Amino acid sequence: MFLRRACFFINRTCGVFANRTVSQSCIQLSEELKNAFTNKLPVVALESTIITHGMPYPQNVECALQVEEVVRKQGAVPATIAIVNGKIKVGLSEKDINKLGDTKSSQPIKTSRRDLAYVMSNKKNGGTTVSGTLIVANKVNIPIFATGGIGGVHRDAENTFDISADLIELGRSSVAVISSGVKSILDIPKTLEVLETQGVFVATFGSSNDFPAFYARDSGIKVPYSVQNADEAARIIRSNRDINTKSGMLFGVPIPEEFAFDSDVINKVIEEALHEAKLNNIQGKLITPFLLSHIAKITEGKSLQSNIALIKNNAKVAAAIAAALAKLEQSQGEDKGTSIIGENIQRRPIIIGGSNMDCSAVLDTDNIQLDGRLYPSKFAYSPGGVGRNMCEAMDKLGYSPNFLTMIGNDFHGVQIKSSIPNTSKHCTKISQTKNTAQCIIVFDNKGSCKMLMGDMSIHKEITPDVILENEVYLKEAPLIIMDGNLTLETMNEILRIAVESNIPVFFEPTDSAIAELPFKSTYSKAIKFITPNINELYVIANLLNIPYTKSSRLEDIANLTERVVNYVDNVIVTMGHQGILIGRKGLATDSFQQKVTNEKFGARHYPTKEITNLVNVSGAGDCFASGFICALVSDKSEEICISVGFAAAELALFSESAVPKSMFDPSHESWSVPTKYTTII
């Protein structure tokens, strides 16, 4: 009964912050860690309560530095995590460790999930517990974490309900924890039961599946699995990351034999310490440091020596696993070639961009004079916006993306939200202070767009913090699609995540006035695809200091495209009724994912067929891009990507709304019949 009640409570709690992330601006990476991430070196996360609450000063500082050195000797990079003056630091300097270790002056707070906001907002110092460290390690994508022993279900928990947050965090953080099992002061069977309920993989490191008990090499409790070595552990961790279970793993490493206590002896010591804690009414997060300190006193310091020995041993094992995992990921990456888009089609692209209510005014003349006269017109309102149009079109093509956008808490916002597919709208944000964006589009009687007017100020509400709140969706995407409605600061944050996570970005410039923005970012190398019209291409070329002569000749546009490809791998120039000119390295029969065998630049012109009696041109470009992207993430050739894009655009030209009511599925002939082209270069 106790476990059912406990697990019900934990499961209710787990979902509350499932999609929240820590703001990147709160985290400081050391230069050593930045270099490690850039060069894909093995990294091991280390907690800091060992410094602030686990041992007396100065042994705590000495131990922390020695543990870091153990990690380095195994060829990995240590990432000790703590809060210093309100800032989360990943990778502490020796000065930081000394500062935290002198607890009389640093006054550190034992920091779990519940304490993070308080410690940070009050600019205090904090030693992160297993759960606190897991949150940060998961945030910065460190897959291996070494600690002494995890927290768990305390003895007498059926009365006190004292269950460590470590167990909850293990159930929702994709990090493998290497520890000497569960602290002996806890109820180990109940702890393992809760871990099972949380979906946490548990194994003993070694030949036996008898789970270790911190000071003792075995607890008498069997777990389902054991792993023989670092390579086997790395393969299991890799599989867990591939399947993206979003739950952690626990590997129990027995304490080295020469430092181990006999189970009966240490259990008697623990019982005495527990009795003392009860007499002194020690509860909550004070109980563990009290018990460890009292056990050290009873054993005349031998337990402290054991504690230090097991932590060093765990760090050594963790570093070996991290090195094996890095080697495994590197070899698997080489086997996959240089694909720029993830191989798993179930990973959903994410669109980040604008939503607005379009008001189209179709005049009864093509002779427009801006002299104040009234023109008889037909008005129509429909949800629009580049990002929103692409989201709807991709969904109707069978490739529903995630969609991050901002709408107002008003009538137009309700209409737009209802137009966003249910599978995409969980990233939709609602502003309480800004109106939904609106755009007035004026067409003449031939269907040509003559004027655009818009109130787009709400798009500035998509801030870097909003991006960080949804970072998990970016990191899991095979492709990030970004339109030009965002601020430079927001684009910079998106591109930073893309660079660090090796995710390609597809940029739709939207308008010549803002086409250059993302190329001002220091992370612009993440942009792998752009779809400018000719004027937008000129604007981008200006910023990149590429000389050109304005010309409508395909050869001149192709020559300019060739120079832009030095900055963006794939340039897809939209030219209205003239069709598409695409410039890239490779052949028309190559997909965009496969390794390019022909490094020679190629520029190809794909003409459109002549279309008469069109209804609306406002959504044709967005639908083309959507069709192109759907074929792109399906690993289709350039020819097929253009073919699917053209088919989607053609439907839009005969639709009164920007996106047709229905599109087509992958059985449509455009998915198998390539569009003919003319080679320009």
Strand order in the sheet with 377-384: 377-384, 356-363, 437-443, 449-455
- The sign one gets for the Cα dihedral 241, 245, 248, 254 is negative
Tokens coding 64: 């922390």
> Do residues 108 and 100 make contact, with C-beta atoms less than 8 angstroms apart?
yes
Calculate the dihedral angle through the C-alpha atoms of 605, 608, 609, 610, rounding to the nearest 10 degrees. -120
Helix (H, G, I), strand (E, B) or coil at 228: coil
Cα 302–Cα 91–Cα 199 angle in degrees, nearest 5: 75
Give the CA distances from residue 228 to residues 200, 225, 253, 621, in Å, rounded to whole numbers and listed in that order. 19, 10, 11, 56
E-assigned strand segments in 6-51:
27-29, 43-46
Helix (H, G, I), strand (E, B) or coil at 655: coil
Give the CA distances from residue 88 to residues 85, 115, 237, 357, 369, in Å, rounded to whole numbers and listed in that order. 9, 12, 26, 41, 60
Strand-strand pairing, 77-84 and 126-128: antiparallel
Q: Is 336 a catalytic residue?
A: no
Residue 139: phi and psi, rounded to 5, are: -60, -45
Residue 580: phi and psi, rounded to 5, are: -125, 135
Q: Is 600 a catalytic residue?
A: no
Q: List beta partners, residue 321.
A: none
Pick from 169, 136, 113: nearest CA to 22? 136
- Please return the burial class of 329, using the count of CB atoms within 10 Å of its CB with bins 0-12, 13-18 and 19+: middle
Which member of 99, 110, 139, 183 is catalytic?
Answer: 183
Which member of 47, 461, 471, 476 is catalytic?
Answer: 47
User: What span, in angstroms and rounded, lies between the C-alpha atoms of 638 and 392?
Assistant: 23
Instruction: Please identify every residue annotated as catalytic.
Output: 47, 183
